[in-house]
């Protein structure tokens, strides 16, 4: 190979320079780049001269354009042109749009990030104006997706929203490419975006962005900070930001409530529109009461429960159960005689479902979400080629269900139901989706006719599944029924059903399910035994793992270990070693943790009961249920005193108790509950609990 002389290298690079932008260059025969104003993920912003009109403009050169395909480049252009149609006194005008550049109004001044020392009313007024501008864009069908102080420029006391539509096109519907990617600035990003759930992003995501900006204007920092992006994204999805009352005590409570409402994790709990936010800011400016309210007791309990589940699920045993369940399902699936491609796909979907189910729908991390999106895309492509592949559609339905996208899951499963009425697995999955919907709705609405109808349908599906089932599938049905009973908390009946299964066909009584049952019944020893049986069983399944593609990123470390071992050539030996190690010293830890987890689960059940009683106005009984929950948590902490999360949970619970005591006029009891809450916080602090959560709980 010819070694290039330096001069040739220089020439080659000089000729390749259109790969990047530079000052002095004339773009599109009209815009002369004058100086760089700044750069970011989207590209470089220049001050430029429009040589045709002789005016100064801001030109944003989109560096990512080089990485876009023709289809997406077109989408960028289309959206940028839509942004160019926005005409609002508080939106920086877009003059011109090219596939690789946007020409915008030059706003001379600073960003909103630089006005944090202006009087609070001034800051709030600026944000109100920005919210009105954002509303205008929403009415034109444009979502900003990256609202933050740096995108809100201030010139002569006037705010201008910039960069409209820049993030949007990248995840425009139909552009499947980047939909799972995380775009935007993590510290200000709504959780749905941080989780990579592009299709969840809507106008209310901008409400979050505005709220995060307001938070910054009050506290001088975004709601979430951190050097590690992955940890930061996780915090955005899972944690509560430090309360403004702590970071900026001078901020009046009503304004803090407005911010809090914007930053709700659940979109449905935010302001429904940017206009609603602007109105409420207007209320505050005018000294009227704000619409935003402190969230209700039931909601706080629900939120508590979500977090609580997270650490319960983190128990080692649960991870093992998840891994074993995967092996089990794969083996069963092979018996259906799928083609290799379909089997591979099914296996991948299975892995993804498993990960999704394990992570829980609120907590899918961004990397996982991206892998999931890709899996979904591949699956839909496969289905486009083989529309009658009922097994794959069923697997897709199951995956969607595991993601908590029950509505989409139902669509797929209902379709299979119509096309293949005899597909027992689809009917089963549909039955379980319906049952889940029922269980969910029952917690919210109680026993309404709609809930009863759902229950009937769920039962009917399972009934049909049973009628159509072949031998193996019959076992599946029975297993599902047992599972359903477990879901409904009818543990004794579930146990009876499982016992029956074991009698009929010992190998069909899925050990993972039995382990889960035992766990739910608070019998960790039995759960452990069953999980071990599942691992033993999985040892026989190494070939099934050959079909598992590399692309899925498993969530649980332990599940991963099991899978890896099974996949490798010497998997059998490895798994043996793994099992031995596990039964040895790890076992102590695992058993201890799972016992703690069992008590934790019991506490959760009692807490749910408390929430229901409270909703029904039975406050005294709710208080008693809370006391029982506190007792369970206490037991849990006796076993695993290092569980900082549980300590935090205890603090939260005691706060709720105190609140309830006050409504019942039990002042003395309320005081001692508060004291216990404080003590729990102190212990959590020594255990190194998450400071953000701790701070939230320490606020009186």
Partner 1 sequence: MDERIFPTTLWSEVRRGGARGSARAAALDALVRRYQGPAEAYLVAALRLPRERAHELFQEFVAWMLASDWLAKAAPERGRFRGFLKVALRNFASDELRKERAAKRGAGVTGSLDAEAAPEPLDARTPTPEAALDAAWRAELVQAAFARLEQELAAGGRAWQFALFRDYYLAAGPEPDHRTLAARHGRSLTDVSNGLQRAKKAFRETLRALVLDTVGDPGELGDELAWLVTEERA
Which residues are annotated as catalytic?
Answer: 146
Cα distances from 398 to residues 179, 289, 321, 346, 488, in angstroms, run: 21, 47, 18, 10, 19
Position 584 contacts partner 1 (CB under 8 A): no
Q: Which of 26, 53, 230, 285 is the binder for partner 1 (CB under 8 A)?
A: 230
Beta strands in 222-282 (DSSP E): none
Choose one: 34-42, 85-93, 295-303, 404-412; the region binding partner 1 (CB under 8 A): 34-42
Structure tokens at 420: 């293949």
The whole-angstrom separation of Cα 388 and Cα 437 is 27
Token digits of residue 124: 């709030």
Residue 181 beta carbon to partner 1: minimum distance, rounded to whole angstroms? 8
Residue 488, token pair as written in the block: 């409904």
Query: For partner 1, which is the closer residue by CB, 62 or 590?
Result: 62
User: 435 to 464, contacts with partner 1 by CB under 8 A?
Assistant: none
Written as one string, the DSSP assignment of 461-494 is HHHHHHHH--HHHHHHHHHHHHHHHHHTT-HHHH
**Cα(383)–Cα(498) distance, rounded to whole angstroms?**
35
Structure tokens that stand for 12 in this block: 């080659």
- Residue 98: phi and psi, rounded to 5, are -125, 165
Beta bridge partners, 36, equal 46
Cβ contact 153:107 at 8 Å: yes
As a whole number of angstroms, the distance between CA 16 and CA 222 comes to 40
Report the residue number, 194 or 519, with the smaller CB distance to partner 1.
Answer: 194
Query: Does the protein bind partner 1 through residue 11 (CB under 8 A)?
Result: yes
Cβ-based nearer residue to partner 1, 12 or 546:
12
Choose one: 63-71, 508-516, 531-539, 669-677; the region binding partner 1 (CB under 8 A).
63-71
User: Is position 496 an interface residue for partner 1 (rule: CB under 8 A)?
Assistant: no
**Residue of 18, 87, 117, 584 interacting with partner 1 (CB under 8 A):** 18
Identify the residue whose tokens are 């002042």: 667
- How many of the chain's residues bind partner 1 (CB under 8 A)? 53
Residue 19 interacts with partner 1 (CB under 8 A)? yes
Judged by beta carbon, residue 271 or residue 545, the one nearer partner 1 is 545
Q: Does 178 bind partner 1 (CB under 8 A)?
A: yes
Burial of 291 (0-12, 13-18, 19+ CB in 10 A): middle
Check: CB of residue 635 under 8 Å from CB of residue 599. Answer: yes
Q: Which of 652, 662, 614 minimizes the C-alpha distance to 305?
A: 652
Least distance to partner 1, CB of residue 553, Å: 4
Evaluate whether 563 touches 548 at the Cβ level (below 8 Å).
yes
Window of 172-180, 271-279, 584-592, 602-610 that interacts with partner 1 by CB under 8 A: 172-180
| 227 versus 580: smaller Cβ distance to partner 1 | 227
To the nearest whole angstrom, how small is the minimum distance from the Cβ of residue 228 to partner 1? Answer: 5
CB-based contacts of 616: which residues, under 8 Å, 6+ apart? none
Shortest Cβ 256–partner 1 spacing (Å): 31
Q: Is residue 314 a contact residue for partner 1 (CB under 8 A)?
A: no
Residue nearer to partner 1 on the CB measure, 564 or 592: 564
- C-alpha distances (whole Å) from 256 to each of 194, 253, 292 are 23, 5, 9
What six digits make up the tokens of 659?
A: 């609140």
The Cβ of residue 108 has, within 10 Å, a number of other Cβ atoms equal to 10
Radius of gyration of the chain (CA): 28
User: How many helices and strands in the chain, by DSSP H and E?
Assistant: 29, 9
Binding residue for partner 1, selected from 56, 78, 181, 685, defined by CB under 8 A: 181
Shortest distance, position 321 Cβ to partner 1, whole Å? 18
Binds partner 1 by CB under 8 A, chosen from 140, 177, 283, 609: 177
Name the one range near partner 1 by CB under 8 A: 131-139, 221-229, 474-482, 617-625. Answer: 221-229
Judged by beta carbon, residue 185 or residue 632, the one nearer partner 1 is 185
Contact 665, 657 (CB under 8 A): no
Is 567 a residue that touches partner 1 (CB under 8 A)?
no
Stretch that binds partner 1, among 39-47, 88-96, 109-117, 676-684 (CB under 8 A): 39-47
Q: Sort strands 158-161 and 110-111 into parallel, antiparallel or unpaired.
A: unpaired
Between CA 197 and CA 217 the distance in angstroms is 27
Q: Per-residue b/e over 352-362, b at no fewer than 16 CB within 10 Å?
A: bbbbbbbbeeb
Q: Which residue from 26, 28, 38, 41 is in contact with partner 1, where contact means CB under 8 A? A: 41
- 540: CB partners within 8 A, 6+ apart: none
Q: Which string of x and - marks every residue 532-561 that binds partner 1 (by CB under 8 A)?
A: ------------------x--xx--x--x-
CA atoms within 13 A on the CB side of 244: 25
Q: Tell me which stretch binds partner 1 (CB under 8 A): 16-24, 127-135, 505-513, 622-630.
A: 16-24
Nearer to partner 1 (CB atom), residue 20 or residue 620:
20
Residue 382 binds partner 1 (CB under 8 A): no
Instruction: Decide whether 353 or 394 has the Cβ nearer to partner 1.
Output: 353
Nearer to partner 1 by Cβ, of 41 and 540: the residue is 41
| Shortest distance in whole angstroms from residue 10 CB to partner 1 | 6
8 Å CB contact between 91 and 80: no
Binding-site member from 33, 42, 82, 218 for partner 1 (CB under 8 A): 42
Which of 52, 156, 227, 580 binds partner 1 (CB under 8 A)? It is 227
Q: Is 53 helix (H, G, I), strand (E, B) or coil?
A: coil
Near partner 1 by CB under 8 A: residue from 26, 28, 38, 39: 39
With a CB cutoff of 8 Å and minimum separation 6, the contacts of 679 are none
In whole angstroms, the minimum distance from the beta carbon of 61 to partner 1 comes to 8
Distance between CA atoms of residues 497 and 501, nearest Å: 6
Q: Comparing C-alpha atoms, which of 188, 195, 196, 134 is closest to residue 165? A: 134
Q: Does residue 8 bind partner 1 (CB under 8 A)? A: yes
We find the least distance from the C-beta atom of residue 37 to partner 1, in angstroms, to be 15
Q: Mask: binding to partner 1, 66-105, rule CB under 8 A, as x and -?
A: xxxxxxx---------------------------------
Whether the CB-CB separation of 625 and 651 falls below 8 Å is answered with no
Tokens describing residue 275: 């206009």
Minimum distance, C-beta of residue 231 to partner 1, in the bound complex (Å): 8
Q: Applying CB under 8 A, does 26 fall inside the site for partner 1?
A: no
Q: Which is nearer to partner 1, 73 or 413 (CB)?
A: 73
Q: Count Cβ atoms within 10 A of the Cβ of residue 1 and give its class: 0-12 exposed, 13-18 middle, 19 or more buried.
A: exposed
Question: For the window 340-379, what string marks contact with partner 1 as x by the rule CB under 8 A?
Answer: ---------------------------x------------
Q: Which of 32, 37, 50, 64 binds partner 1 (CB under 8 A)?
A: 64
Which listed range, 14-22, 239-247, 279-287, 597-605, lies at the site for partner 1 (CB under 8 A)?
14-22
Q: Where do contacts with partner 1 occur on this chain (CB under 8 A)?
A: 1-6, 8-22, 39-44, 61-64, 66-72, 175, 177-178, 181, 227-230, 367, 550, 553-554, 557, 560, 564
């Amino acid at each position: 190979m010819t070694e290039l002389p330096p001069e040739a290298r220089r020439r080659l690079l000089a000729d390749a320079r259109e790969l990047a932008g530079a000052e002095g260059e004339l773009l599109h025969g009209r815009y002369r780049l004058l100086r760089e104003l700044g750069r970011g993920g989207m590209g470089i912003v220049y001050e430029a001269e429009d040589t045709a009109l002789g005016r100064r403009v801001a030109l944003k050169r989109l560096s990512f354009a080089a990485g876009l395909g023709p289809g997406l480049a077109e989408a960028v252009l289309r959206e940028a042109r839509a942004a160019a149609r926005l005409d609002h006194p508080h939106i920086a005008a877009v003059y011109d749009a090219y596939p690789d550049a946007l020409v915008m109004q030059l706003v001379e001044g600073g960003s909103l990030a630089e006005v944090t020392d202006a009087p609070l009313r001034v800051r709030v007024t600026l944000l109100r104006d920005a919210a009105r501008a954002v509303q205008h864009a929403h009415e034109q069908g444009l979502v900003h997706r990256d609202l933050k102080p740096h995108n809100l420029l201030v010139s002569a006391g006037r705010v201008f929203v910039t960069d409209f539509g820049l993030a949007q096109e990248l995840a425009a519907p139909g552009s499947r490419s980047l939909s799972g990617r995380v775009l935007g600035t993590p510290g200000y990003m709504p959780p749905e975006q941080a989780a990579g759930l592009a299709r969840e992003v809507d106008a209310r995501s901008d409400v979050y962005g505005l709220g995060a900006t307001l938070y910054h204007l009050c506290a001088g920092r975004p709601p979430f900070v951190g050097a590690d992006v992955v940890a930061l994204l996780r915090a955005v999805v899972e944690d509560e930001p430090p309360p403004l009352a702590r970071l900026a005590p001078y901020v009046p409570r009503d304004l803090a409530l407005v911010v809090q409402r914007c930053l709700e994790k659940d979109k449905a709990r935010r302001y429904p529109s940017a206009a609603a936010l602007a109105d409420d800011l207007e209320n505050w400016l005018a000294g009227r009461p704000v619409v935003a309210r402190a969230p209700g007791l039931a909601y706080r309990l629900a939120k508590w429960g979500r977090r609580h589940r997270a650490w319960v699920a983190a128990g080692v045993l649960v991870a093992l159960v998840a891994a074993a369940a995967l092996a089990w399902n794969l083996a069963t699936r092979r018996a259906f005689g799928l083609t290799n491609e379909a089997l591979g796909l099914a296996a991948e979907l299975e892995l993804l479902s498993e990960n999704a189910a394990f992570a829980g729908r609120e907590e899918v991390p961004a990397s996982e979400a991206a892998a999931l999106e890709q899996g979904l895309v591949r699956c839909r492509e496969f289905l486009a080629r083989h529309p009658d592949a009922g097994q794959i559609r069923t697997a897709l339905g199951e995956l969607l269900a595991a993601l908590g996208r029950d509505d989409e899951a139902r669509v797929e499963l209902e379709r299979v139901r119509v096309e293949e009425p005899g597909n027992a697995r689809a009917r089963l999955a549909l039955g379980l989706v319906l049952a889940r919907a029922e269980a969910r709705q029952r917690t919210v609405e109680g026993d309404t006719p709609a809930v009863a109808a759902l229950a009937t349908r769920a039962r009917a599906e399972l009934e049909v599944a049973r009628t159509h089932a072949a031998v193996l599938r019959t076992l599946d049905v029975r297993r599902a029924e047992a599972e359903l009973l477990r879901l409904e908390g009818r543990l004794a009946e579930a146990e009876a059903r499982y016992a029956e299964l074991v009698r009929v066909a010992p190998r069909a009584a899925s050990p993972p399910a039995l382990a889960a049952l035992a766990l739910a019944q608070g019998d960790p020893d039995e759960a452990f035994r069953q999980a071990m049986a599942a691992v033993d069983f999985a040892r026989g399944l190494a070939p099934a793992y050959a079909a598992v593609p590399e692309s899925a990123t498993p969530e649980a470390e332990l599940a991963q270990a099991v899978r890896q071992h099974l996949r490798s050539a010497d998997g059998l030996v490895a798994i043996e070693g793994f099992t031995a190690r596990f039964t040895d010293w790890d076992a102590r830890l695992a058993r201890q943790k799972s016992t703690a987890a069992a008590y934790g689960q019991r506490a959760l059940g009692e807490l749910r009961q408390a929430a229901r009683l409270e909703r029904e106005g039975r406050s005294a009984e709710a208080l008693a249920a809370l006391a029982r929950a506190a007792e369970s948590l206490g037991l849990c902490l006796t076993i695993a005193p290092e569980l900082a999360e549980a300590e935090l949970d205890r603090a939260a619970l005691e706060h709720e108790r105190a609140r309830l005591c006050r409504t019942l006029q039990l002042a003395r009891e309320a005081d001692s509950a508060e004291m216990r809450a404080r003590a729990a916080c102190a212990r959590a602090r020594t255990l190194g609990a998450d400071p953000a959560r701790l701070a939230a709980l320490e606020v009186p």
